[in-house]
Structure 1
Amino acid sequence: METPVFGLFEKAVDPYPEAPPPIPPRGFFAFLWAGTAGLRPFIFGMTLLTATIGAFEALLFAMLGKVVDWLAAVEPAQLWASEGSKLMLLAAIVVGSIALVAVQTMIKHQTLAGNFPMRLRWNFHRLMLGQSMGFYQDEFAGRVAAKVMQTALAVRDTCLIMTDIMVFVTIYFVTLVVVVGSFDTWMLVPMLGWLLCYVTALRFFVPRLSRVSRAQADARSLMTGRITDAYTNIATVKLFSHAGREAGYARSAMQEFIQTVHAQMRLVSGIEVVNHTLSMGLILSTAGTALWLWTQGEVGVGAVAAATAMALRLNGMSHWVMWELASLFEHVGTVQDGINTLARPHLVVDRPQAPALKVSRGEIRFEGVSFAYGAKGPQARQVIDGLSLVIRPGEKIGVVGRSGAGKSTIVNLLLRFYDVERGRILIDGQDIAAVAQDSLRAHIGMVTQDTSLLHRSVRDNILYGRPEASDEDMIAAARRAEAHDFIQTLSDPHGRCGYDAHVGERGVKLSGGQRQRIAIARVMLKDAPILLLDEATSALDSEVEAAIQASLYRLMEGKTVVAIAHRLSTIAAMDRLIVLDKGRIVEEGDHRSLLAQGGLYARLWAHQSGGFLGEEADESGEGTANVEPESSFAESTHRTLPSPTVADKPVTSV
C-alpha cells in the first residue's frame, strides 16, 4: 500500500549519502553514536513520542479507575448528566492518542526501520572496499559480508530497543507508580518489591546473556565464512573429492555455534521461569493489598480495578521486556563482534587533499624500495630489498626470477596495494604515495594469471575497463582480444545470450582461456598508458596464444610495459629483462646478453628449453646449449615489438 504520507516519511532519510564515511570509533557506545549520524533528529523525535505514549497508556488505568468510581457513585440515569463532559474529554484524549501513535510508528517503521540499516550497510560496504589487499588476505570474504549485513541490523535494533522500547517501559512504569501512589502509599509496596526482584533477576541473567551473545555472533560469522569459502572454491572441492571434508570443516563451526545457542537457551528458560514466578507474585500481592485497603475503607472500587489491571498489564509486559533485553544483548554482542572488523583502520590511505596522478610520458622509478609482508622489524624477511630501477617511457621490460623472488610484489607496490617501508616509487616524477589511489590505478591496466570475473554479464565485465565506452568500442576490444566469436555463442539459464549472458561467480561458466580473453578485452578497452602483464597468456592454448600475441603487441604500443612470466619465451623479446633474486636485481639486459652471461637467467632458460622444470643447472651454466628452439622464437618475436622511445642503453642502479 503506497500513499503520499508513507512516501513522505520514507524519503525523509537518504540511505545512500555521498560523503565518504569515516572510520568508526572502536568503543561500543561511540560506535553506536557514529552509526546514528544523519538520523539523530528522527531518533530523538521517536523517543519523545514514545515517552508520551508510555505515559498516556499508564494514565489510561487512572482513567479506568475514575470511570469505575463514577459508575459506583452515580445512578445510571444520571451518569451523562453529571459526568458527561468528563467522559467526552476522556474520549477526546483517547482519540487524540491515535495521531501520536501514527506519527511515532511512521518515524519508526517508514523512516528508520529500512533506511537505518541500509545507510549503515552502504557506509560499511564502502569502508570495506577501501581496505587494503592485506586485510582481505587475512579474512574470509563471506565473514566480512556477514559482518556488514548483521552488524547493520544489530546497530539499528540496539538503538531502537534502547530509545523506543526501554524508554516506553521506563516512562510507563514511573507513571504507574505515580498513579498507584495517588490511590494509597501502601499499594506501592507490591510493585516496588516486584521491581527489586525483577532488577535482581536482570542483573543475574543479562551479563551472562551478553557474554554468550558475543560468543554466538563470532561463531555465527565463522560458520558463515567457512560455508561461503567452500562455495567460492567449489571447483577445488570437487577436484579433490573433498565435499565430505568440507562438510566436516563446516560442521565443526556449526557445532561451536550450536553450543552457544544451547547456552543461550538455558538462560532464556531460566528467565521465563523466574519472570513468571515474579509476575504471579505481583498480581496476587497487588490484588490482595488493594482488596485489604478497600475493606478498610482506604480506597474505592476504582482503585482496586485499576491496580489489578496494572498488575495484569505488567505481567504481560515483563515477559516482553525480558525477551527484548535478551534480544538487546544478542545485538550488543553482534555489534561488539562487528566492531573488530568494521572499525579497523585502513592501512593504505590517501593523504588529505591528495591530487590526481597525471601521466604524460609513463616513466616509472623505484628508488631504494624495501618491503616485507606481515611482521616488521629486524627479524622480518625483506621481499624487496633496496630496489632501484628506472623504466623509461614506452619501454617494455620483463621481470624474471624464481618463485618468491619478489616479482609479483613489485607489481603490488606499483599499484599501491601496499605501502613501501623505505624508499619511494615515482611515475613521471610523482610519488605514488602522494596521489589519489583511484587516479593511480586508473592509469594502469593489468592482466593477471588468475583471472576473476564478476558474476555479471560479459558486457558488464568488459565495460568494467571503461564504463562510459560505447558498445562499438566494447565489441572492437573483444575482437582485438580474439573473444568476440566465442562470446556470440554464450547463453545462460535465463535465456540471455552473447554479451548479455552472465558468466557465473568468478567466471566459472567459462574456460580459463575464455576468461583470460575477456580480461584482456577489458584492459584493451581501458587503454591505460601503463600496462602490467602477470602471466597474461598462461591460460591460453598455443593456437589461441599465437592468435592473440599480435593483439597484445598492438596493446603494448606507446605504453610502458612491465611483464612477469614464468614461461620465459613469452617475455624474451622485451626491450630489457630484469632478473630478481631475493628482492634484488642480480642481472639485467636483453635476452641474448643474459644468455651469454651464463648466470641465473641462462639457467632458468635451460630448464624450460632442454631440461626438466625442477632441474637445477650447475653454476657454470651447463645446459645452456639447449636453447636454440626457443631462442629462434625469441628472435622472431623480437622483430614484432615496437622499439623504446629513447636510447637502448638500460638505465638502472642497484
Structure 2
Amino acid sequence: MLSRLMTWGETRIKPFDERSIERPPDQLWAFYWFFIKPLWPFFVFLLIAGCLGSIIEVALMGFVGTIVDKMRVESDPASFISNHGLMLTLMAFVALILRPVVSVGHDFIKNQIIAAGCTARIRWQTHRYVMRQSLGFFQNDFAGRVANKIMQTGTSLRESVVQLIDALWYASVQFVGSALLFAASDWRLTVPLVLWLVAYIMTLRYFVPRIKQRSTESSEARSMLIGRIVDSYTNIMTVKLFAHAEREDTYAREALTEQVQKWQASLRLITGMEIVLYLLNGILLVATTGLAIWLWTLQYVSVGDIAVVSGLVIRIVTMSGWVMWTISDVFENIGVVHEGMETISRPNLLVDKPDAKPLTVPRGEIRFDHIHFHYGAGRAASDDAPPRVIESLSLTVRPGEKVGLVGRSGAGKSTLVNLLLRFYDLEGGRILIDGKNIADVTQDSLRAEIGMVTQDTSLLHRSVRDNILYGRLDASEADVIAAARRAEAHEFIRGLEDLKGRRGYDAHVGERGVKLSGGQRQRIAIARVLLKNAPILVLDEATSALDSEVESEIQSSFETLMRGKTVIAIAHRLSTIAAMDRLVVMDEGRIVEEGSHADLLKRGGIYAQLWSRQSGGFLAREAAE
C-alpha cells in the first residue's frame, strides 16, 4: 500500500516533456516561472500544507497555556480530566492525528511529488535546448562547465522555490500567531517581538543580498574549476604524452584557489550574520520573558501566559536561525540559477526557419553560389581588413561527381565543408543541393543526407555496435556486421574486450574511443558512414590515421562507398585524391585552380608545387606506377 502510494506520487510530474523545444527566458524571475508554471498546483498544495502545519504548531502552544491556567485554578485535581475531557481530547487529536497527517502530507508533496520529478524535468528541458545549440557554442566553453550548470540549475531552482515557500509561510504564521497570543495576554508583550522583527528584517536586508552575490561568484568559480578538471581528464593522452601532470595541477590549483577564496568570502558573511542573530535572539528571549514575569508580578498576566510566551519565544528563537539559514540558502540557490541561466538561456544563433522543410536528395548536385564567410562579424569596411575565410566562392559539383579539395593549411577547405553541413550560417551567397537552399531546409534532414568521415574521429563511450548504429539506428545486426566487414573492421572488433568483460561488438570503446588505435577508430567511423549510405559523401582526411597497408586494404571499400554518390574529399596526402574526377585547388578562401591531376601538373601552379613536395617515398612509388 505504502509503496503504491509512493509510486503514485513519484509519477505525478512527467520529467520528459516532449513539447516543442523553447529557449528559456534570460530574465531571472521569468526563467523561474518558465519552469514552475506547468507545475504550479503542486507548489500551491505545498504552500497550503506548510500553512496548516504552522497554524497547528501555534495552536498547540496556545493549548499548553490554557491547560496550565486551568490546572492552576482547579480545586479538585482528581476531576480535572473529566471536567476538561473535550478540550484534552481535541488537543490529543491535533497532536496525534492532525499534526502528523499534515506534516507527512507536506513531506510527501515535497519529497515524493516535487523533488525528483521537478529537478529531472528542468534538467531535461535545459539539456534538450543546449544540445541543439550551434557548434560554436560548445567550441567556446568547457563541456564539463556546461554540464555542471545544467545539473546545478535544476536542483537549485527547485530547492529555492521549495525553501522559500516553507520559510515564508512557516515564519509568517508563527510570527503572526505568536503576536496574537502575546496580545491576548497583554499588548505590551508584543513590543519586544515587534522591535526584534524590525531588527531581524534589517539584518536580512543587509546580509542576504551580499551572500547572494558572493554565492554567485563562488558558483561561477566552481563551474570553472569543474571545467578545467574535466578538460584535463578529457585530454589525458596529451597530458601524458607531454608529461605535464604538474602543469595541469597548477592549472586546476589556480581555479581551486579562486573557488576557495570566493567560498570563504561567502562564509565570512554567514558567520557575521549568525553573530548578529545570536545577539538579537538573546535580547528577545531576556526582554520578553522578563517583561512577562514583571507583568505577572503586577497580576496583568497569568502563569499560563508566561508558559505560552516563554515557549513561543524559544520557538521563535529557534525558528529565526532556521529561517535565516533558509533565506541564505534560497539566495545562494538563486545565485546558482542566475549563473546557470546566463549559459543555458543564450540564444541559439543557428536555427531552422519556421517554414523549413525536410530535404530530399534525388540527384546530389551541390552548388556554392558566390558564398562569403568569416568566423566572426565579417569583413570591416577598411581596405586593411583581413580577408574572409571564404571570399566570393562559386563551385558546382555535378550529381555523382567525385571532387577533391586541395590547398595549403588554412586555405578554407574544412570551412567549406562545415558550411555545406550548415554548422555555420553564410554571411553572403547561398548553397544549393538539388536546387534547394540549405538555409531553407531543416538541419537534421540536411545532415541526414550527408555522410562524413573526418580526420579526428571521435567515438561515443558506448559499445562498438552502438557507434556503428549511429549511421542508421534501425539497421539490423547483419547490416552492422556487413558494414564492419566492408570497412575491414570486423576482425579486430571480434577480439575486443573491455574492463567489464564485454566482448566484440558489445565492448565499450572508452571516452572519445581512446581504447582503440587511431586506425581502428577510423575504420569504425567508415563502417558507420557505410551503414548510413547517404547520397552525398564528405571525406575530410578520412584515411590520415591509417597506414599505407591498411589504406590499401580498405581502398576497395572506399570505391564501393563512393559508387553512385556525390563526393567531396579533402586530403593533404594528394595520392589519395589524385584519381578523383576533378581537383579543386583553394588558396585564401578562393578557388585558384581546377582540373584533373594531369592537367594541374602541367600548369605548374600551386597543385604542382604541393605534389613536388610530396614526391618522395610513398608518392614516388605511386607516381612511378
Instruction: Tell me which interval the TM-score lies in, with the shorter structure as reference length.
Output: over 0.9
Q: C-alpha distance in 2, partners of 1:37/1:369?
A: 45
Counterpart-to-counterpart distance in 2, 1:263 and 1:571:
61
- What residue ranges of structure 2 are gaps of 5+ in the alignment? none
* Deviation per residue, 1:391-417 (Å, 9 max, x gap): 111111111111111100111111111
| Alignment of 1:584 onto 2:590 | yes
C-alpha separation in 2, matches of 1:274 and 1:361: 77
| CA distance in 1 between partners of 2:135 and 2:290 (Å) | 69
Q: What one-letter code is carried by the residue in structure 2 that aligns with 1:385?
A: E
Q: CA deviation digits over 1:163-203, x for unaligned, max 9?
A: 22322222222222222222211010111111111112212
Matched with 1:267 is 269
The Cα offsets for residues 622-642 of structure 1, whole Å up to 9 and x where unpaired, read as xxxx98644455xxxxxxxxx
Shift >6 Å, 4+ stretches: none
**CA–CA distance in structure 2, aligned partners of residues 425 and 632 of structure 1:** 39
Deviations 1:142-168 (A, max 9, x none): 111111111111111111111223222
**Which of 209, 212, 222 is residue 211 of structure 2 equivalent to?**
209
> What is aligned with 1:68?
68
Tell me the secondary structure at the aligned position of residue 543 of structure 2. Answer: coil
The answer to whether the 8 A contact 1:416-1:437 is kept is yes
**d(CA) in 2 for partners of 1:329, 1:363:** 57
Counterpart residue identity of residue 91, structure 1: A
Query: In 1, distance between residues paired with 2:177 and 2:442?
Result: 58
Consecutive unaligned residues of structure 1, counting only runs of 5 or more, are 612-625, 634-654
Match of 1:647 in 2: none
Tell me what 1:606 maps to. Answer: 612
8 A Cα contact 1:58 1:173, kept in partner: no
Q: Secondary structure at the match of 1:587?
A: strand
Match of 2:26 in 1: 26
Deviations 1:316-374 (A, max 9, x none): 11121222122122212111111110000001001114211111111111111111002
Report the Cα offset of residue 89 of structure 1.
2.1
In structure 2, how many angstroms separate the alpha carbons of the residues matched to 1:394 and 1:351?
Answer: 29
SS in 2 for 1:562: strand
Aligned-partner SS, 1:38: helix
Letter of the 1:323 partner, please give it.
W
Output the CA distance in 2 between the equivalents of 1:263 and 1:629: 69
Which of 520, 541, 544 is the matching residue for 1:514? 520
The answer to whether residue 546 in structure 2 is matched with residue 546 in structure 1 is: no
8 Å Cα contact 2:55-2:174 kept in structure 1: yes
Q: CA deviation at 1:66?
A: 1.2
Aligned to 1:318: 320
Which residue of 1 is the match for residue 78 of structure 2? 77
Counting matched residue pairs gives 619
Task: State the match for 1:159 in structure 2.
Answer: 161
Q: How many Å separate the matches in 2 of 1:477 and 1:172?
A: 70
Residue 396 of structure 1, aligned match among 389, 398, 402: 402
1:478 equivalenced with 2:484 (yes/no): yes
The residue correspondences of 1:250-265 to structure 2 (distance < 5 A) are 250-265=252-267
How do 1:365-404 and structure 2 match up within 5 A?
Answer: 365-378=367-380, 379=385, 381-404=387-410
Q: CA RMSD in A?
A: 1.6
Q: What is the identity, as a one-letter code, of the residue corresponding to 1:267?
A: L
User: Partner amino acid for 1:428?
Assistant: D
Higher alpha-carbon deviation: 379-388 or 407-416? 379-388
Q: How does 1:58-457 map to 2 (within 5 A)?
A: 58-74=58-74, 75-94=76-95, 95-378=97-380, 379=385, 381-457=387-463
What letter corresponds to residue 502 of structure 1 in structure 2? H
Deviation, 1:2, is: 6.1
Amino acid at match of 1:43: F
Rounded Cα–Cα distance in structure 2 between residues aligned with 1:11 and 1:246: 44
Q: How far off its partner does 1:124 sit?
A: 1.2
What is the deviation of 1:381? 3.7
Residue 42 of structure 1: aligned partner: 42
SS of residue paired to 1:602: helix
Deviates most, 288-297 or 217-226: 288-297
CA-to-aligned-CA distance 1:377-399 (integer Å, 9 cap, x gap): 41464111111111111111111
Query: In the superposition, relative to structure 1, how do residues 22 and 202 fare at CA in structure 2: closer, same or farther (>3 Å)?
Result: same
- The TM-score, its normalising length taken from structure 1, stands at 0.92
Separation in 2, partners of 1:546, 1:478: 16
Aligned-pair CA distance for 1:211? 1.4
- Structure 2 distance, partners of 1:228, 1:50, is 41
Contact 2:454 2:541 (8 Å CA) reproduced: yes
Q: Quick one: distance in 2 between partners of 1:79 and 1:579? A: 106
CA distance in 1, matches of 2:2, 2:446: 46
Residue 540 (structure 2) aligns with: 534
Percent identity of the aligned residues?
52
Farther off after superposition, 301-310 or 70-79: 70-79
1:271-318 CA-partner distances (Å, limit 9, x unpaired): 222211111111111111111111111111111101100111112111
